[in-house]
Amino acid sequence: MKLKARRFAGLLLAVLLCLPVFAAPALADDYDPLYPELLAEGHLSAASAILIEADSGKVIFEKNADQRMYPASTTKILTVWLALTMGDPEQKITVSENAVNLAPDESSAKLAAGEQVKLIDLCYAAMLPSGNDAATAIAEGLGGSAWNFVVMMNQAAYSLGCTGTQFMNANGLHDENHFTTARDMAILSRIAMQNETFKQIALASEYVLPKDNIYRARTIKNGNNFVAKTEGKEKRYYEYATGIKTGTTSAAGNCLVGSATKDGVSLISVVFGSTSDEARYTDTIRLMDYGFSQYLSTSIREIYEMNPRVVDVRNFDLEDPQVGRLQLKLRMVSTDASDLIVTTRQQVDYWVQNFTSLTVTDFTRDLRAPITEGEVMGTLTYYPEYGNPVVYELLAGRSIAAREQIAPTAEEIIAAAMEDPNPFPRITVEIVVLYLLLPAAAVYLFIRVVKLLIAFIRKRIRVRAFKPTSRYFR
């Protein structure tokens, strides 16, 4: 009986120990690739993930984005970016014995101790085959020692706003004190992808390391199937991918920092702790599809053309079929500014409806016929959140004839007078008749009428002599 009781207790304990596994939330299986906009946290196997819009850094989707995670070889994103920022790409670095002293399971670029390699070649070797030896060689060559370079890495990360990050090496080899967050890694990756050389490295499928003092020229290949199309792994490849880096350790799990660009929209994703090598690619592709379903790239011109400005013109010909209505066209005149806007589809509707209040319009011409098609009517200015103002000319979309036999306006009379170089009126027959003879004749007639009236009145009041009417009057 005691043996049976012990067996039962052991079985019960095993069941209890397995309960957390069974109780853990399972990955949702209702994801539909036809509706990527319905992505939910449960559709991702990653323990932590984030998706941002690369231009603005705005967060589009996140899952435990501030949870402390081990980054594995995605650490090399900062290593390579820092190398390109502070070093000379043509600088030659001698690979040390320490750099090539790797454990059997570490990723390697097959460098040799004493090999003299250009910094740019070490950057490719650190990113494509994820060579820990190349990353350490970079750190030692630029920092004087690997640790000095790590100190610079941490300073750079903190200065960029990565407050949840601490690195202990340049290659991502596991260390309990070597950690970051998905949000911080997205920040670092966004900055790195603004470097054109880094972008070329992140996108390369392969690279030829040139001949050096030890080896002949040899080709290294990118192990990131997100950007490098590999036979048998086509499902991992993403046609819009532009980078960036994978990372794997037993402690970190399967990690992938991805970037992609489609129709002018650029996205950056981070997945940490995916359940398998395949799952990290699935997670990344789902994030990218979600982002592209939410964001689009447009321009001020395109938004304006959805609801172009229409003005009412005065003095139009009465036979004008549009009764003086004039649609204005845009022509960009700024040469040092960009009018591209990456935003959500809902925000585009807001822009269309409120375009007038989001831009400044200044009419430089009176809205009065006659008007010629293509004539500049004014300017429209857009003030982006970042960068220089963008200025456009407002052009007349059609010609409008003026109404015939219409009296000039007060503005036209004043303008004509101001344009007359003679400040005094010209002496013409009309002026003599109107301003001299007619007034003189009027005065003469007025005097004659007054005299006649006075004579008439005097005649009427003249006193007559009385004749006697009585015989007694003497």
Enzyme catalytic residues: 73, 76, 130
Q: 3-class SS at 296?
A: strand
Give the tokens for residue 73: 């070889």
| DSSP at 315 | S
Phi, psi of 398 (to 5 degrees): -160, 170
Question: Residue holding tokens 């196997």?
Answer: 45
Give the tokens for residue 232: 């048998």
For the chain, how big is the Rg over CA atoms in Å?
Answer: 43
Question: Residue holding tokens 């994103």?
Answer: 77
Of 238, 251, 126, nearest to 192 by C-alpha is: 126
Q: 3-class SS at 148?
A: helix
* Terminal Cα distance for the chain, rounded: 186
| DSSP at 236 | G
By CB neighbour count within 10 A (0-12 exposed, 13-18 middle, 19+ buried), where does 317 fall? middle
Q: Is the dihedral of CA 381, 382, 384, 390 positive or negative?
A: negative
By CB neighbour count within 10 A (0-12 exposed, 13-18 middle, 19+ buried), where does 191 fall? buried
Question: Residue holding tokens 């994703």?
Answer: 269
The residue count of the chain comes to: 474
By CB neighbour count within 10 A (0-12 exposed, 13-18 middle, 19+ buried), where does 352 fall? middle
Q: What Cα–Cα distance (Å) separates residue 451 from each residue in 264, 356, 441, 448?
A: 94, 72, 15, 5
Phi, psi of 246 (to 5 degrees): -95, 170
Residues whose CB is less than 8 angstroms from the CB of residue 415 and which lie 6 or more positions away in sequence, other chains included: none
Of 109, 63, 251, nearest to 168 by C-alpha is: 251
Q: Which amino acid is at 420?
A: D
Distance CA 334, CA 318 (A): 38
CB 168 within 8 A of CB 150: yes
